[in-house]
Chains A and B, each alone.
Chain A
Amino acid sequence: MGETVGNLIGLNDEVIHPAATLAVEAHNSQSKQFLVKKIKIRHDHSSVVVLAFSGSMFPDDWLGQPPFGKTKIDTGKFPSLTSLNDGGDAVVNGSFLGRFNGVLDKLSHDKELKKAIEKKRQVVFSGYSSAGPIAILATLYFLENRTLSPRCLTFGSPLLGDRIFGHALRREGWSDYFTHFVMKYDIIPRIMLSPSSTEHAQILNYFKSKFDRKNINPAPPSGFYLTVMGNASSVASYEACHLMGCRNPSLDIIKSFIELSPYRPSGTYVFCTGNGNLLVVKNPNAVLQILIHCTELGESNTAEVEKRSLDEHSAYLSELKECLGMQAVVSLDGGPATATLNDLGLSPQAMLCLQAAEEFENRRSRNLEKIGKYLEKIEVELEMLRKYKENAQISGLGYYDSFKLQNEDDDFRANVRRLELAGMWDEIKEMLKEFELPDEFEKKREIIDLGTKYRRLVEPLDIANFYRHSKDKETGAYVIGGGPRPKRYRFTQRWLEHQEKKPFGSRSESLFWADVEQLGIDIKKKGYLQEIKDRIHQLERNMIAWIDVDKSLDKDVLLEKTTFVKWWRDLPIECKSESERIEKLIGEKAAGV
């Protein structure tokens, strides 16, 4: 043993219980939006600042629009919480997001927090019950801003975000900063897996009156358990089907007939088994399965479990005190933890689901190895294409035009290379889309660099091929919206933009030729409209920036015989805005060769 919870989640053990205490206190505080407290750590005399948020048990503060209150996250505040491969932005519970926005202003002007940032103290955001999501969002907000690197502790928090949300967290490497404590039967962490219903309101109203008037014990509601957990178990079994590689098409057909909750767990979960043991789980799929399966009804009857599911939500402080004292901690990711899993009372079926969750992670690592071999091949192919490009430059035509004409055997071979590369990148793309590669994949420097190199070198060839065959007649222009531009270029562009924190679409230098070609076609069709002129000016400005400033576009587009130079020189003078500079660049290039 020897491991403590603190070790496993990267936080001092002495912080956890005070943070929980403050969280419960803050949750019931009506007057303040959050409470701040400084905790001295005994052994190294450092101090940690804990900030706990207040909560609300009004059903409206939990779920805005039925059935799930889904809202796209505000990517202005949270630019990282999106998928880099067409999966869209992360979805979160809109009511929680709204409450966070309500507290944000006060939070960012808080003196004690500012002081903590100045003194570079460790900051922990903490939240109990409905304040948990607020703490998560606050932590994320500061992680995005890079002003500090806070931690997040929640106790009995409902789920906040969907699969993309968790994926983005893991991709950015932030997942370990979030720790969620969950009691074995507590209903609240599971409630968001079920659509909004009268049962929801029943449960929340019960807690509301319980927290408001501390001395009177309201009558607990009954009959909600099977409905809520029934819906939650749909989610779990649906995910389990996927983990186990179920290939039956009915699975997705049936899914379109019901509304499954979009929310999934993210971050590290610590389960309190009820007899002092703690189970730490990081694999999000395993967390979901445990959340559902550990509540399975055994011999005990429904009414009893129903009551426990309510009682345990208000038992965190006492339970944590016991657990943290014992420090009987097991991590699921460290290997088989059968004894603790038995404490949770998991059935054989649940064990199978957990194994499947683990196997899924293993499969992702295996896929990554396979992709590793591709990357070497890609390097080799790119090198060959680079040589092709050099040779084409010597002929004075540039490789874009030479490829478009397809006159030489070399051009033909380059075309075959282009297609082989496309196959490899498409496979990578396919795997990413299905989450078959580790979440961090799109954040790896060498991958982004290779993707960029590939995109800048090969996309012009795709464009040449596209316009050579006049495919725009069949499918519309190359770049338009969801048009025919291959996704492998969109993804790789997005990776770079994300890494550089630039807006979507700002790194489109590889689309230069598509712009040129499409402008040529549109001018023939429509003449020199103002809109066309604007586009020409934009193109000129972009080109100068790409060539001169960040060198992302190669100067061979300036060769005198290229489509671009010929086309640009034919433009009427009033359409050009950067005439001199571009002529100068062309001149330089000609002199250089």
Chain B
Amino acid sequence: MLATFLSSTPVLQDSWRLCSLANTAATVVTDHVRGVAYVAFPGTVMPSGGANLVALDAAPDGLFPPLQQRQHEDPPMIHAAIVDHFRSFYTSTTFHNQILAEIDKSKAVVMTGHSMGGAVASLSALWLLSYLQSITSSLPVLCITFGSPLLGNDSFLRAILRERWAGNFCHVVSNHDFIPRLFLAPLPSLSAHHAHFVLQFWQLLMNVLQSDSETAKIFGFLLPYIQGWVANMEEECVKSPFSPFGNYLFFSEEGAVCVDDAAAAGKMLELMFTKASPGSSIEDHLKYGDYTEKASWQLLMRKSFTLGEPPESSYEAGLALAVQSCGLANQESISGPAKECLKMAKRVNRLSPHLNAANLSIILSKNVPYRTQIEWYKASCDKSDDQMGYYDSFKLRGASKKGAKINMNRCLLAGFWDNVIHMLESNQLPHDFLKREKWVNASHFYKLLVEPLDIADYYRTGMHLTHGHYLKNGREERYEIFDRWWKGREVGNEENNRRTTHASLTQDSCFWARVEEARDWLDQIRSESDMRRSAMLWQDIENFERYATRLVENKEVSMDVLAKNSSFTLLMEELQDLKSKSQQFPPQFPAFLNGEMVP
């Protein structure tokens, strides 16, 4: 159904119109239709470079910061030559200005391109998405490619899924078009045994748009090879490193199908290709105009089952219709696997994202008692006679039952929130989830309350000795994600509230980690003999001091920080002590330790 919706909208036709223009002009072409900016990249410009993968981190000088490699994962890799090609656009000064100017005057942006231009459009869209994320803009971006080659590996796909950007990409692939299938054959073997293919590959890619007979000959050579690979995919253990990402919209003579699952899309690329001939493969690479136009009327044309008895359930009927739309219904050998494949793509989930979100509030309410117990714990620690505050109480806790219980709660809550993040990243929650104040607030308060305990536990168990300090090495990823959510929320009419009383929770959840680091520096200074090193340490400590002072003066710390025996107070006293002993630094202390601020 999504395919029908997509093709009934004018977006596809407008994109293709502009792509043809870009191809003819061989430059980037932009246009405005009803407030939407269209940017089309030409498919006729020749890239240079080899056909191998490069790691994303190394490649484009951090063009896509959100897609960086994560721990314990393979690095996201993309096609080297395509990145180079993209960079040739990117580094030209007009590119930036052109695109940023378009953004300013439009309510939405479509990046599009045919063939090679499609791959460049994908990268541009990724760059734009990264850029928009950095300025927390929610301008809608859509990337529509026509017959674009595959771009990146499996980690690349996962990185995009994690950012929930997959939905912004729609790759249109016509029936037998060979370009999107080109990299299904594994590259290493391509370059090793068929060196001449690689040499002629780019030549081919360019010439194909002019459709001369020479290319047809080369291609006739190449096609059986790819098809052979595709057919034997099951047996061969070497798999292509490339993986599709985003939505794939397959056009056939019979209709259209939209697939968003990467594995299913890959399989469909293979299946629909099995009956291709050299002629049809090249022709289909050029025929997108026809396909898009025909598809736009698709819904108005009546379709009926062409073969067999009517299916039993509506689910089966839906599948049969989808197979027919791929134009595979009459091909006995393929229609079976195609059906399986589409079934996989549909993977009926009983709950819609909205109901998932609704259900999640129930689970949240079940988890909330854990949080309230921690709040309770904090309050009781803050009031207790030892005046340590809950950070230190938790850090130095003995074998008390209470402490263990709180520690348990801390772990349970972590599990809950990790699950929320997982659901979000795997697209099980509504698109506007992060616009809901309830969740952003809840995650924020969770972070403020529980992260100090995590820090306490980190230093309590001595992790910092083996792994380094918390801030750089120990911080759980979820807190960073929550930071982003909190920063990205829509800030309303924020009056500049001066706090009159102390915050109930310290507003910087990493405060204690900074305290621990400062303590470490202080210890180092004592034993440091090298003047230069020690001066640097002093610099760090002063920075910390300024930071802490600001927080305290703005009353953004909670009472426990200023408790008489908290490690912060102790640290400050020690620091003052050390400073007064050392003559080279004139004392420059704010008044906050003179007693009246300490309760």
Contact = CB atoms under 8 A, between A and B. Distances in A.
Given A237-B1, A250-B2, A424 B300 contact: no
Given A348-B303, A348-B305, A233 B8 contact: yes
B28 to A, nearest CB: 20
A236 B299 contact: yes
A524 B167 CA distance: 50
Interface of A, secondary structure class, is helix
A245 B362 contact: no
A347 B303 contact: yes
Interface in A231-273: 231, 233-234, 236-238, 240-241, 244-254, 256-259
B526 interface: no
A379 interface: no
A418 to B, nearest CB: 9
Contacts of A431: 354-355, 358
A425 to B, nearest CB: 9
A245 B6 contact: no
B1 A297 contact: no
A347 B366 CA distance: 47
A257 B36 contact: yes
B590 interface: no
Interface stretch (A117-125, A145-153, A473-481, A562-570): A473-481
A475 B441 contact: yes
Nearest to B555: A473
Given A249-B166, A258-B10, A524-B500, A412 B354 contact: no
Interface stretch (A314-322, A482-490, A532-540): A482-490
Contacts of B166: 249
Contact of B302 (A252, A296, A521): A296
A230 B376 contact: no
Interface string B106-143: 01101000000000000000000000000000001010
A229 interface: yes
A470 interface: yes
Interface in B33-78: 34, 36
B299 A427 contact: no
A412 B2 contact: no
A286 to B, nearest CB: 14
A257 B431 contact: no
Contacts of B438: 426, 486-487
Contacts of B354: 430-431, 433-434, 436
Q: In this complex, which of A254, A347, A423 has the most chain B Cβ atoms within 10 angstroms of its Cβ?
A: A254
A394 interface: no
Interface in A253-303: 253-254, 256-259, 292, 295-298
A41 interface: no
Contacts of B504: 468-471
Interface string B346-387: 001100111101110111111011001000100100000000
Contacts of A473: 497, 499, 503
Given A237-B299, A292-B299, A419-B372, A257 B4 contact: no
Contacts of B364: 423
Nearest to B490: A482
A247 B110 contact: no
B548 interface: no
B336 interface: no
Contacts of A246: 1-2
Contact of B352 (A229, A245, A423): A245
Interface stretch (B203-211, B313-321, B452-460, B470-478): B313-321
A464 B501 CA distance: 16
Given A249-B167, A352-B318, A424-B365, A254 B6 contact: yes
A261 to B, nearest CB: 13
Given A248-B260, A258-B9, A476-B495, A233 B299 contact: yes
A32 interface: no
Q: In this complex, which of B300, B359, B438 has the most chain A Cβ atoms within 10 angstroms of its Cβ?
A: B300
B304 A416 contact: no
A334 B139 CA distance: 46
Q: In which size bucket is the chain B interface?
A: 35 or more
Given A233-B8, A416-B369, A476-B492, A250 B168 contact: yes
Given A233-B299, A256-B140, A422-B365, A248 B321 contact: no
Interface in A193-248: 226, 229-231, 233-234, 236-238, 240-241, 244-248
Contacts of B427: 247, 249
A415 interface: yes
A246 B167 CA distance: 12
Contacts of B362: 423-424, 426-427
A249 to B, nearest CB: 3
A248 B164 CA distance: 11
A548 interface: no
A426 B310 CA distance: 43
B592 interface: no
B447 to A, nearest CB: 12
Contacts of A475: 441
B8 A426 contact: no
A257 B297 contact: no
Interface string B333-352: 00000000000000011001
B300 A241 contact: no
Interface in A419-478: 419-424, 426-427, 430-431, 433-434, 436, 468-476
Contact of B300 (A229, A251, A253): A229
A65 interface: no
Nearest to A353: B1
A349 interface: yes
B406 to A, nearest CB: 14
B301 A256 contact: no
Contacts of A421: 365
A524 B499 CA distance: 12
A230 B372 contact: no
Nearest to A260: B9
A406 interface: yes
A412 B355 CA distance: 30
Contacts of A297: 300-302
B358 A426 contact: yes
Contacts of A482: 492
Interface in A322-348: 345, 347-348
Contacts of B503: 470, 473-474
Contacts of B303: 347-349
A45 interface: no
Given A248-B260, A249-B167, A257 B108 contact: yes
A355 interface: yes
B170 interface: yes
A43 interface: no
B8 A234 contact: yes
A179 to B, nearest CB: 28
Given A406-B379, A473-B499, A248 B505 contact: no
The 8 closest A-B pairs by CB, nearest first: A423-B365, A249-B167, A430-B358, A426-B361, A237-B5, A233-B299, A419-B368, A250-B167
Given A237-B4, A469-B505, 5 more contacts: A230-B8, A230-B297, A348-B305, A406-B376, A427-B361
14 contacts: A230-B297, A230-B299, A236-B299, A238-B5, A240-B4, A248-B258, A257-B140, A292-B299, A297-B302, A352-B317, A423-B361, A426-B361, A427-B358, A436-B354
